[in-house]
């Protein structure tokens, strides 16, 4: 992808550069997984359609594909009877965290049904229409057995997992919170419930698979190239290097595209069987059962405070759903370990096995759900203490990380709250709920804090420059819409002193240097650091050659003095255009690699990004209808590489929080174990009319403890605490505290009545 911006050479990091891939996307030039057609030898792809199970638990008792096979255009039908032998799925819990992402995930491996809509057959035909029609003609009968689908039921059997997501310990304990709760003058004890939520990216999961001998190429929609490469190789029992994964453009993922799903596995198997390229895409309905979800949770928060408003106890207990066949333990209480200071603390996580597909990582896993409970509880406690919600939080600001005792690399949470209060007009808020009114509308303002760990993963990048001064940046990092093409071009242009037009960024191909991919908000820091280091290594190579080569106009100068700027190399008072210099001393150009890894300061400092959300809502007195009137987020996230793409990411996360607070709930039928609202007509997400006035701003910060660029992840921070700010605003408007999300008008009306 070549940059097309007209920015002048010089400083690029920190500028609001337009997306360098923007023109391709708006003109249809960006090619997504299902659109790829560059097939070898002029072959045309076949199309696969997956048939899902009609029961949530049991076995296939009878299977007849005769009518489907007779449909014109049908090439093959795969079922558990015709499937080639695949490695076993293995135990529900993998031994180490990486294996969660790379384990074998066999499909159509037997007659057992583990969840509703589990793939039970794949029809491959010359057209998608023929495959879909034939799939409807397959006759399957099941022997159904009772399943369990309500993780929050009183009789649900809970267990303690060995670990929780991201490798955090399951439980923590500091001091004696029970004694503090018993003796404190002010306490609260509240329970908050969040439903299942669905990722619902614009681009469904899709794959085009093709083989060349024993080598497989997958054009697929994925956030992490390496995970898909390893997972598919493990499933097909072939060497990892025999799988090439290509994913230059992704239409969203939000965590649902971190592991291989049925589209990739079945497309690869079908293409091998037919010796022909095969395309498979999930329908929107299939996405709900087959592409992961945020697990439903019940969170109990207990707080105790002294007369001065200082927390003396914080207890956060989580109950969450997990699939019976594969464990996923969302780390919802982890955020309570480091956010506020408290003399005593306890956090616990318990799981309930249900007969659904597995939960998966969903934008801000753990923080998005955990902060809803914590920040609503903090709001309730502030009211009970008769303190302003911001003042209460300020009084409980810790000096060091409460969990580890480590110093903070930076922490400007209070600055975010105070700047947000100033900008938003916090003084307009009435401390007494239900007292501010405009006609038949009750107006309320709420706020909540935001926090998310700052991660970095191992990454490599290659940077090459040719004799014309054109630079190619290569890494298998992906761009799921976050602006990766743009920020990596900015980093390379600034470090090499070249215009953006000289930089070409190549991403999303397993043949390129390996990165951790897009997930966990670590993509920019990880791949950006690798590109930064590769550029520094490239500059050193060029400088050393420039002072030593006989044909160099800079021969004999001091390489340590080299400055790369304005498309030239300067050594003291001598300078040469970079392209002319390279043409003289190395007509084949130069190439260098760089890497990123966690350094010592990363391990010794507590590193997080922070923010504060402010929301204003109107609640109709007669109908209970809730309208968001305006919302502001103020964030401190290290150095900002590109304010335009960063603001876009944060606003997108804030809108996620609005959906979580007011509309989103995947309704699992407790009788039959399927999501009944499994499309975008019934699964309600915010639309343009729901978002009137929203903004995200930054507080300047340069945190050099985690990486040389001084940056922190932001892709998920905007979704941390945003739902709590809206819920708190609704309470401030009408005096109805809804703790069972989403906050819908029926719940508000019942409280108002």
Catalytic positions, written as ranges: 716
Secondary structure element (H or E) that encloses residue 638, with its range:
none
Exposure string for 659-691, b = 16+ CB within 10 A, e = fewer:
bbbbbbbbebeeeebbbebbebeebbbbeeebb
Cα distances (angstroms) measured from residue 302 to each of 189, 316, 401, 513, 723: 4, 7, 20, 48, 20
**Which residue is listed with tokens 């609001």?**
16
Q: Is 474 left (phi over 0), alpha (psi -120 to 50) or beta?
A: beta
Distance of alpha carbon 349 from alpha carbon 359, whole angstroms:
15
What are the DSSP calls for 665-692, one per residue? -B-B-TTT-SBSS-STTTS----GGG--
Q: Which residues pair with 442 in a beta bridge?
A: 437, 619
> Encoding tokens for residue 385?
């203490």
Please check whether residue 653 is in contact with residue 254, taking contact to mean a CB–CB distance below 8 angstroms: no
Query: CA neighbours within 13 Å on the CB side: how many for 665?
Result: 15
Nearest C-alpha neighbor of 49 from the set 111, 139, 128 = 128
> Encoding tokens for residue 97?
């965290």
Give the number of other CB atoms < 10 A from CB of residue 317: 19
Q: What is the largest CA-CA distance in the chain?
A: 89
Distance of alpha carbon 20 from alpha carbon 42, whole angstroms:
31
Distance of alpha carbon 401 from alpha carbon 506, whole angstroms:
39
Cβ-count burial of 120 within 10 angstroms (0-12 exposed, 13-18 middle, 19+ buried)?
Answer: buried
Distance of alpha carbon 665 from alpha carbon 48, whole angstroms:
30
Nearest C-alpha neighbor of 345 from the set 178, 164, 167 = 178
Please check whether residue 223 is in contact with residue 481, taking contact to mean a CB–CB distance below 8 angstroms: no
Q: Which residues pair with 675 in a beta bridge?
A: 668
Distance of alpha carbon 685 from alpha carbon 703, whole angstroms:
35
Distance of alpha carbon 406 from alpha carbon 605, whole angstroms:
6
Exposure string for 230-253, b = 16+ CB within 10 A, e = fewer:
bbbbbbbebeeebbbbbbbbbbbb
Distance of alpha carbon 284 from alpha carbon 290, whole angstroms:
10
> In 323-475, where does DSSP find H-type helix?
367-385, 389-395, 413-424
**Which residue is listed with tokens 């583990």?**
114
**How far from the centroid of its chain's Cα atoms is residue 402's Cα?**
26
> Encoding tokens for residue 237?
């029992």
Distance of alpha carbon 696 from alpha carbon 634, whole angstroms:
6
Distance of alpha carbon 32 from alpha carbon 478, whole angstroms:
12
């Amino acid at each position: 992808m070549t940059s097309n911006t007209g920015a002048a050479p010089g400083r690029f990091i920190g500028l609001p550069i337009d997306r360098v891939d923007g023109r391709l996307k708006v003109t249809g030039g960006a090619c997504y997984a299902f659109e790829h057609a560059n097939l070898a030898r002029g072959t045309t792809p076949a199309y696969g359609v997956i048939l899902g199970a009609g029961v949530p638990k049991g076995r296939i008792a009878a299977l007849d594909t005769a009518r489907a096979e007779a449909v014109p255009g049908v090439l093959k039908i795969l079922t558990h009877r015709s499937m080639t032998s695949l490695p076993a799925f293995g135990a529900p819990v993998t031994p180490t965290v990486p294996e969660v992402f790379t384990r074998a995930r066999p499909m159509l491996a037997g007659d057992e049904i583990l969840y509703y809509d589990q793939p039970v057959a794949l029809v491959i035909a010359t057209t998608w229409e023929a495959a879909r029609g034939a799939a409807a003609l397959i006759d399957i009968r099941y022997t159904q057995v009772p399943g369990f689908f309500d993780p929050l039921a009183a009789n649900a059997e809970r267990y303690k997992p060995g670990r929780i997501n991201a490798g955090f310990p399951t439980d923590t304990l500091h001091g004696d919170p029970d004694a503090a709760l018993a003796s404190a003058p002010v306490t609260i004890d509240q329970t908050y419930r969040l439903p299942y939520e669905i990722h619902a990216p614009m681009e469904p999961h899709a794959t085009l698979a093709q083989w060349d001998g024993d080598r497989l190429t997958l054009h697929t929609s994925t956030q992490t190239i390496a995970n898909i490469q390893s997972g598919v190789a493990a499933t097909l029992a072939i060497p990892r290097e025999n799988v090439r994964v290509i994913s230059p453009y992704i239409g969203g993922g939000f965590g649902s595209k971190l592991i291989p799903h049925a589209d990739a596995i079945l497309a690869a198997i079908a293409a091998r069987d037919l010796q022909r390229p095969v395309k498979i895409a999930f329908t929107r309905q299939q996405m709900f059962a087959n592409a992961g979800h945020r697990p439903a949770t019940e969170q109990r928060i207990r707080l105790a405070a002294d007369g001065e408003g200082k927390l003396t106890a914080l207890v956060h207990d989580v109950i969450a759903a997990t699939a019976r066949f594969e464990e996923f333990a969302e780390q919802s209480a982890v955020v309570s370990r480091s956010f506020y200071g408290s003399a005593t603390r306890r956090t616990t996580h318990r799981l309930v096995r249900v007969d659904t597909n597995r939960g998966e990582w969903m934008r801000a896993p753990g923080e998005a759900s955990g902060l809803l409970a914590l920040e609503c509880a903090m709001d309730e406690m502030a009211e009970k203490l008769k303190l302003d919600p911001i003042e209460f939080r300020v009084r409980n600001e810790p000096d060091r990380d409460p969990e580890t005792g480590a110093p903070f690399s930076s922490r400007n949470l209070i600055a975010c709250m105070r700047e947000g209060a100033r900008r938003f007009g916090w003084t307009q808020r009435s401390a007494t709920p239900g007292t501010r009114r405009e006609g038949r509308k009750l107006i309320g303002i709420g706020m909540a804090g935001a926090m998310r760990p700052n991660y970095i993963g191992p990454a490599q990048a290659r940077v090459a420059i040719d004799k014309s001064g054109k630079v190619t940046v290569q890494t298998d990092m992906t761009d799921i819409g976050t602006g990766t093409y743009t920020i990596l071009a900015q980093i390379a242009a600034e470090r090499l002193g070249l215009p953006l037009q000289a930089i070409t960024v190549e991403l999303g191909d397993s043949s390129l240097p390996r990165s951790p991919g897009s997930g966990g908000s670590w993509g920019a820091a990880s791949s950006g650091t690798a590109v930064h280091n590769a550029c520094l290594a490239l500059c050193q190579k060029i400088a050393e050659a420039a002072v030593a080569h006989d044909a160099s106009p800079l021969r004999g100068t001091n390489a340590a003095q080299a400055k790369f700027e304005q498309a030239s190399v300067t050594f003291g008072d001598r300078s040469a255009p970079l392209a002319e210099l390279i043409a003289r001393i190395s007509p084949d150009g130069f190439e260098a690699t760089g890497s990123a890894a966690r350094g010592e300061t990363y391990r010794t400092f507590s590193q997080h990004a922070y923010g504060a959300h402010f929301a204003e809502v109107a609640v109709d007195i007669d109908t209970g209808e809730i309208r968001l009137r305006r919302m502001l987020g103020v964030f401190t996230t290290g150095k900002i590489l590109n304010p335009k793409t960063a603001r876009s990411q944060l606003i997108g996360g804030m809108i996620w929080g609005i959906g979580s607070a007011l509309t989103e709930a995947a309704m699992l039928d407790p009788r039959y174990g399927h999501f009944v609202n499994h499309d975008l007509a019934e699964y309600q997400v915010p639309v343009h009319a729901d978002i009137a006035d929203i903004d995200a701003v930054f507080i300047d910060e340069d945190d050099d403890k985690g990486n040389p660029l001084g940056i922190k992840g932001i892709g998920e921070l905007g979704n941390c605490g945003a739902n709590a700010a809206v819920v708190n605003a609704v309470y401030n408007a009408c005096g109805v505290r809804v703790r069972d999300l989403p906050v819908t008008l029926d719940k508000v009306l019942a409280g108002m009545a």
